[in-house]
Amino acid sequence: MNTLGLPRAMSYYYMYPFFSAFCKAIGVELVVSSPTSKKTMDNLEFCPTDEPCVAVKLLFAHAKELLDRGVDRLLIPCLISLEPKNFCCPKFIGIPYMVQNALGSRARVFSPQIDLYHGKNEWHRSFFELGEELGVSRKTVTKALSSAWQAQRDFEDYCVSQKATTEKAYRSLLGTGCGRNLSRVVDPATTDHPDVGVVAVIGHPYIIYDAISLDLLNKVTGYARVVTAEMVDQAETRRQMDSLLEGERLWSFEAQILGAALYYIRNRLVDKVILVGSFECGPESVIENYIEEEAERAGIPFILLTLDEHTAEAGIVTRIEAFMDVQPIKPIDSAPSVSPVFVPGPRRELMVLGMPTMGYLDVAIRSALTQCGVHTIKTPHAGKEVIELGKALAPEFVCLPFTITLGQMRWLLDHGATHLMMVGGKGKCRLGWYAQMQEQLLRRLGYDFEMIIIDSPLPFGERWASFRDTLKHTTKQASWLKILRSLYFGYHKMAAIDKAESICHRVRAFEVKMGTVDRAFRQFVRRIERASSTESVWHLAHEFAEHAEAIETLDTDPVRVRIVGEIWVVLESHVNLHLEEMLGKSLEPRVWVDREISATSWFHQHLFPNREANARKNQIKQAAGPYLGADPGGHGHKSVGLTALAKQEQMDGVIHLFPFTCMPEIVAQNIMIRLGEELDLPILTFIITDQTGEAGFETRVEAFLDILRDRRDVQEGTTVSRLHLA
């Protein structure tokens, strides 16, 4: 009989009924790892990197336990999308590939994909492939999938109808549990003791029901009755999410958590709310803000408990004790419980528009808007003032781009902006939720403004109308001819600057007097900002190219360094401490930077693709495929693909940049460990925070370049020796 091992982590706590029923129906024995223990905690180091949240580390540890028991074929599903309009968190998408890359040839990871976003046929294919490898027919797999979904629905219905925790439901329906004893959790609506308080403990079950929670639920039940997210019907959670702008597009599991919290709070079913999260949990940083504001509006005390492998039990006990002593607060208002979380305030007639920066993209956008008669304010770069303005409002584990763009928004509002413009486009990354969260936080401070969210026009059939209306509103109802001409003008400014930066990458590696091309580039950007026509833009670009070619150079034999990572950190030189210029100032070795990520390349690969961009996009995707079989969002897939191509494209090393808690890049970093070893390619990773210091940053860059120089010297020495022998 075939045997597969399922780690008792992450998807186990959501979809064990599904995979248990599926394996049973196809005649496969499913072996689940033991509940988390001290030995499990000792195995957390099996995770190659320290950046993932503790849930990911626990899955690695449980996989190690299964391997130690002789189970070398693991079932770790790739959960891409469980509903047609949203996705799962990037860690659920990337985890099977992270584990497979860490294990190498020591074990086989089967990673069937569930992807309802792209339709039934797409994700069924991966289950058919799994069945084929296990010697099971397509007909049997199809029947097994039907049985599996029924088992999953039965589990979810049981939790709602019986007001049962995941632990209780697993024991009742499947004869197994999560390793915790939570029999005291009951339905507050049917209690015979109305004088006892009710506390909603909201969070991922893979934290709440795992030993990592330090028996949190039973600690809380010592003070009050407890309810959890899985006790709320999904139809009700969806209704709650519908009250939020594009709430249906929030990550699947987080939508259940947030929807349940809103249901409990808005219907006054609880006296207190505890949100349980894990350190570095990206989605939790999004839903936290909504729960906190709704609880404050209702006058219900709220607390966030963040856990990881270093959390001490004494600290948790103290915080729970203190929180249980907190008395209800006066509700902010008496608005209906189904009102939206945020409501735009009154608008001034004058339109003064500001926007966050990303590299030099704001130069192009401001120019396009000016052509349409819109007054704009130039945004300051990420200096100390901007960072402090953002940090004062930002949730704890939100990423640095959110914090700095929020700080820029505050600065703009303080300097006369009446309208803010921010990108939308909700998907796997948090970026699509920035604008809503930032508007919510800024309104708490009393700012009166309009947030204009520019969402993707794709797919055209669904989103073009909304995109069109937003574009007309942003340009003060300019004619379509003027809008198209302005966008064309802005695009050419963007393309000209990106092309000039590419020239700088090459010239820096050879120029005699370092900094010459950088001074010319800064002057070029200032002139591009003032340019008033497309013709003048390309005249300036031609002048810059000629000037750069005329710079005196040396034959320096530079090393080639590829920069990959999260696009905002890669393009924001004030955030990455001017890394490209730093590399360009290296004397020994000289460095030729390769940075393919740019605003123009993104534009051509995602919005208006051309043949060259499509070919390169497919090449990167194919290169990433053997290491990362599904796109986790953001630029994570591209980071892996560009790294996989680096060796054959004559790169000597790779520098990987991403902000702290960036979920797609955490997935990529984990996989790039194996890539570096397999390709014998040095990879330097920088995780950027507001605390990243220039001295330590520069020291690490210098050490990395020393490694590249020494490796090149050894390789050249070997080549010379071979020539002498010949």
> Looking at residue 709, which CATH number applies to its domain?
3.40.50.11900
Which SS3 state, helix, strand or coil, does residue 228 take? coil
Domain extent, residue 180, equals 176-324
489 in any annotated domain: no
Q: How confident is the model at residue 718 (pLDDT cuts 50, 70, 90)?
A: low
Bridge partners, residue 444, by sequence: none
Task: Dump pLDDT digits (tens) for 407-444.
Answer: 999 999 999 999 999 998 888 999 999 999 999 999 99
Please tell me whether residues 579 and 720 are part of one structural domain. yes
Please tell me whether residues 363 and 442 are part of one structural domain. yes
Q: Which of 455, 477, 499 is the last residue of a domain?
A: 477
Region 35-64: mean pLDDT is 95
What's the token pair of residue 445?
């401070």
340 in any annotated domain: no
**Number of domains comprising the chain:** 4
- 660 membership: H or E segment, kind and range: none
Task: Dump pLDDT digits (tens) for 660-671.
Answer: 999 999 999 999
Distances from the Cα of 654 to the Cα of 52, 395, 595, 626, 658, angstroms: 21, 31, 10, 19, 13
Residue 74: DSSP 8-state: E
What was the pLDDT predicted at 426? 87
- At 560, phi and psi to the nearest 5? -100, 125
Burial class (CB in 10 A: 0-12, 13-18, 19+), 492: buried
What was the pLDDT predicted at 335? 45
Q: Report the alpha-carbon distance of residue 619 to residue 455 in Å, rounded.
A: 27
* Whether 691 contacts 661, CB under 8 Å: no
Bridge partners, residue 498, by sequence: none
What's the token pair of residue 160?
């709602």
What's the token pair of residue 46?
């099996």
Q: How confident is the model at residue 269 (pLDDT cuts 50, 70, 90)?
A: very high
Q: Report the alpha-carbon distance of residue 502 to residue 321 in Å, rounded.
A: 58
Q: Report the alpha-carbon distance of residue 536 to residue 544 in Å, rounded.
A: 12
Q: Report the alpha-carbon distance of residue 40 to residue 179 in Å, rounded.
A: 13
* Whether 605 contacts 724, CB under 8 Å: no
20 in any annotated domain: yes
Please tell me whether residues 602 and 726 are part of one structural domain. yes
Please tell me whether residues 270 and 356 are part of one structural domain. no
502 in any annotated domain: no
Please tell me whether residues 406 and 319 are part of one structural domain. no
Q: Which of 451, 477, 503 is the last residue of a domain?
A: 477
What's the token pair of residue 161?
């109808």
Please tell me whether residues 26 and 144 are part of one structural domain. yes
Cis peptide before 459 (omega within 30 of 0): yes
Write the DSSP assignment of 480-514 as a string of letters.
Answer: HHHHHHHHHHHHHHHHHHHHHHHHHHHHHTTBSST
Please tell me whether residues 144 and 206 are part of one structural domain. no
Please tell me whether residues 102 and 231 are part of one structural domain. no
* HSE-CB for 379 with a 13 A CA cutoff: 30
Task: Dump pLDDT digits (tens) for 316-371.
Answer: 999 999 999 998 877 765 444 444 444 444 445 689 999 999 999 999 999 999 99
531 C-beta neighbours (distance < 10 Å), count = 20
Q: Report the alpha-carbon distance of residue 423 to residue 402 in Å, rounded.
A: 12
Q: Report the alpha-carbon distance of residue 46 to residue 307 in Å, rounded.
A: 19
Whether 60 has a pLDDT exceeding 50, the answer reads yes
What's the token pair of residue 703?
């050490």
Task: Dump pLDDT digits (tens) for 356-387.
Answer: 999 999 999 999 999 999 999 999 999 999 99
Bridge partners, residue 109, by sequence: 74
Contacts of 496 (CB under 8 A, 6+ apart): 528, 537, 538, 540, 541
Q: How would you write 607-655 as a 3-class SS string?
A: HCCCHHHHHHHHHHHHHHCCCCCCCCCCCHHHHHHHHHHHCCCCCCEEE
Q: Report the alpha-carbon distance of residue 590 to residue 150 in Å, rounded.
A: 62
CA-CA-CA-CA torsion for 582, 584, 587, 589, nearest 10 degrees?
100
567 in any annotated domain: yes
Please tell me whether residues 710 and 614 are part of one structural domain. yes
Burial class (CB in 10 A: 0-12, 13-18, 19+), 713: exposed
What was the pLDDT predicted at 396? 81
507 in any annotated domain: no
Please tell me whether residues 110 and 141 are part of one structural domain. yes
What's the maximum distance between 2 C-alpha atoms anywhere in the chain?
93
φ/ψ bin of 104: left (φ > 0), alpha (ψ from -120 to 50), beta (otherwise): left
What's the token pair of residue 546?
């000629």
Burial class (CB in 10 A: 0-12, 13-18, 19+), 174: middle
Please tell me whether residues 563 and 700 are part of one structural domain. yes
Task: Dump pLDDT digits (tens) for 685-715.
Answer: 999 999 999 999 999 999 999 999 999 988 8
* Whether 241 contacts 206, CB under 8 Å: no
Please tell me whether residues 650 and 565 are part of one structural domain. yes
Nearest to 114 by CA among 10, 4, 15: 15
Which SS3 state, helix, strand or coil, does residue 262 take? helix
- Lowest model confidence (mean pLDDT) among 164-173, 363-372, 459-468: 459-468
Q: What is the CATH number of the domain that holds 463?
A: 3.40.50
646 in any annotated domain: yes
Cis peptide before 589 (omega within 30 of 0): yes
What was the pLDDT predicted at 338? 41
Q: Which of 157, 185, 201 is the last residue of a domain?
A: 157
Q: How confident is the model at residue 456 (pLDDT cuts 50, 70, 90)?
A: confident
What was the pLDDT predicted at 330? 75
Whether 183 has a pLDDT exceeding 80, the answer reads no
What's the token pair of residue 267?
């219907």
462 in any annotated domain: yes
Q: Report the alpha-carbon distance of residue 667 to residue 92 in Å, rounded.
A: 10
User: The sheet that has 198-203: what strands, in order across it?
Assistant: 225-227, 198-203, 272-278, 302-307
